[in-house]
A and B are shown apart, each in its own frame.
Chain A
Amino acid sequence: MDLLEYQGKLLFARHDVPVPEGKAATSVEEAVEAAEAIGYPCVVKAQVQIGGRGKAGGIKVAQNAEEAEAHAKAILGMDIRGLTVHEVWIEEASDIADEYYASIVFDRSAKAPLVMLSTKGGMDIEEVAEADPDAIARLHVDPLLGFQDFQGRRLAFEAGVDADVVRPVGALLKQLYGAFIDEEAMLVEVNPLIVTGDRQVRALDAKVTLDDSSLFRHAENAELRNLSDEDPQEMMAKERGLTYVKLDGDIGILGNGAGLVMSTLDVVALAGGKPANFLDAGGGSKAEAIVSAVEVILSDPKVTAVLFNIFGGITRCDEVARGLIEAFGQIDVKVPFVVRLNGTNEEEGRALLAEADLPKVHVEETMDGAAARVVEVAG
């Protein structure tokens, strides 16, 4: 789960990572109230999860209540690269002397947290890494030992931060590591990490990705919502416990197992089609789950054909066939379906489909054949 900037900052604050004081608002009135409480100058920041907010006019400085109101009015409801702004974060303006970069990522290959620090903050760190890899100091932390004070100093010296802030930057990294571990994050990134005119170190931005699998023991985080990022199909799928990702094509896809579904998307693309979604019905899917999944797929108005690609292991092909037949009984299906069933109880599944003789359902024997057929019937 990716957090919004302000959600990340509130999470940082719980772990004593210094952040500017601020308040979230979902209406112009709330925004002005927040600005009045914080004082001027303050910054009105659009809360959407996308880069280039400033360039799009989503970050504005207000010198007084009138300006705060005007900015909040302009920003709330604004569209930034396809995302609607539903929330703003009102924050005290910072006097920036230096901009650094700090992050902790879950390094899968080293199987350890990787901490990075650079004095080239405020820029795209991937570009810095490419152009000037030595500008980024980095080290791995032993997950059983935790972050040590010397590691903070080492990173600060190697990155070349100003001597007077080596200790506070090191301390901030240690607090950031605490947040990373305690909140079970996959990524915490601060860009920029600023040094103010009076030499205070602060996180001016926050990018946090939490591990979805750990949310069961972080009730506070599990309740966080991102209103701008709620696609109707993805919401519906989430409520039904389905693994669904919306894509921009017109061929609905249902399969079992993440790898097989990904492979199905590729095979459909190779056959010249454009998948509308990724949907993993999971292992051991029962008929009801299939009905539910068909509803989610068909609720996307762009879908002109649907492909079922099932290799039955725990999942039984006869259950899938039953689910499809039930779905056709419950929903007025207007688009053609192509179904490919292999694996556990494949013969029973195919027999059920043959018997039901559903209109617009084509049964194919192979994955490649099914992909070619669905592209053909999608038109």
Chain B
Amino acid sequence: MSILVDTNTKLVVTGLTGREGKFHGMNNRAYGTDLVAGVTPGKGGQDVEGVPVFDTVREAVEEAGANTAMVFVPPPFAADSILEAADAGIETIVAITEGIPAHDMLRIHAHLQRGPTRVIGPNCPGVLSPGKSNVGIIPASFFSEGNVGLVSRSGTLTYQIGYEIAQRGFGNSSIVGIGGDPIVGSDFIDVIGLYEQDPETELIVMCGEIGGDAEERTAEYVAENVSKPVVGYIAGFTAPPGKTMGHAGAIVSGSRGTAAAKAEALEASGVRVGRTPTEVAEIAVDILGGVRA
């Protein structure tokens, strides 16, 4: 098992004919992801290395059976692309695009609450279920199948922590990047809820960062709803207030959103929090019963 993407995933990439969309779409296919279609309006009927391109997502669903979409179109058009995929009946939308206006996400998130579509991202590295499917830009070669479910607001930090855990002999059920924007389609709580239900996942590792209160809310959720052990990490202990640290969402305003407050809330809920990526890996290994050869 795994969460969000697996061997049943049939992927359509919006923006497949663009440079980035093609590069990563083909990478995902090389990994074994069932890439069934691309969508670029006006290029219907063409193909990208044998993958059929359609004018609309609706056609990709009806004719190629797509059930998952990866959005790779530029920021001014990304919200529209997410809405199109949802309208076509796509179940899971992974939005990689960085720099989507926050008010676009505000409106489409309110709309998507009315339907069954789940959005991961935007501004995220995607979802990897090792050995099954990769949808996004996570460098899959570092990760193998296993029992650690990883969820993070950041890309490379996830790779760092995942890599340190992998070096100690453990693999992942799935790795989910939820994104670093002020409004993301799925929060820690949504993804941790899926890991709690996933029989393969034995340990959950969450990497948060400064800004907002998603980590604090997750702490409450974990205390009440999660039976599996959770290990946490928070980036940004030394970030000064009022400065956006790269991610649009990573900003400490006033007394809210500090790393110390988040770590404290998580620890109060029984989540063990590591102060460095290495310490997180060590705690994870400790819980899982020592380094595997």
Contact = CB atoms under 8 A, between A and B. Distances in A.
Interface of A: 106, 108-109, 111-113, 126, 142-144, 181, 184, 186, 211-214, 216-217, 243, 245, 247, 255-263, 265-267, 269-270, 275, 278, 280, 283, 311-314, 342-344, 366-368
Contact of B247 (A113, A142, A255, A258): A258
A300 to B, nearest CB: 16
Interface string B141-176: 010000000001111111110010000000000000
11 contacts: A106-B106, A109-B214, A214-B101, A258-B209, A259-B154, A259-B235, A259-B246, A260-B235, A267-B277, A275-B238, A367-B278
Nearest to A142: B110
A82 B179 CA distance: 35
Contact of A186 (B102, B152, B240, B247): B102
A255 B246 CA distance: 11
Nearest to A371: B276
Given A111-B183, A256-B156, A257-B246, 20 more contacts: A113-B106, A126-B255, A184-B102, A186-B182, A211-B103, A213-B75, A214-B102, A217-B76, A245-B245, A257-B156, A260-B157, A262-B154, A262-B209, A270-B276, A278-B239, A278-B246, A343-B142, A343-B159, A367-B276, A368-B278
Contacts of A261: 245-246
B146 to A, nearest CB: 19
Contacts of B275: 266, 270
Given A259-B209, A344-B139, A243 B246 contact: yes
Given A143-B107, A278-B246, A367-B160, A259 B102 contact: no
Nearest to A271: B276
Q: How large is the interface on B (under 10, 10 to 19, 20 to 34, 35 or more residues)?
A: 35 or more
Main secondary structure of the interface of A (DSSP, over half): mixed
B29 interface: no
A351 B244 CA distance: 35
Nearest to A181: B103
A213 B246 contact: no
Contacts of B142: 343
A320 to B, nearest CB: 12
B213 A108 contact: yes
Contacts of A263: 157, 160, 233, 235, 276-277
Contacts of A126: 254-255
A297 to B, nearest CB: 15
A269 B237 contact: yes
A247 B163 CA distance: 29
Contacts of B163: 311, 342-343
B162 to A, nearest CB: 10
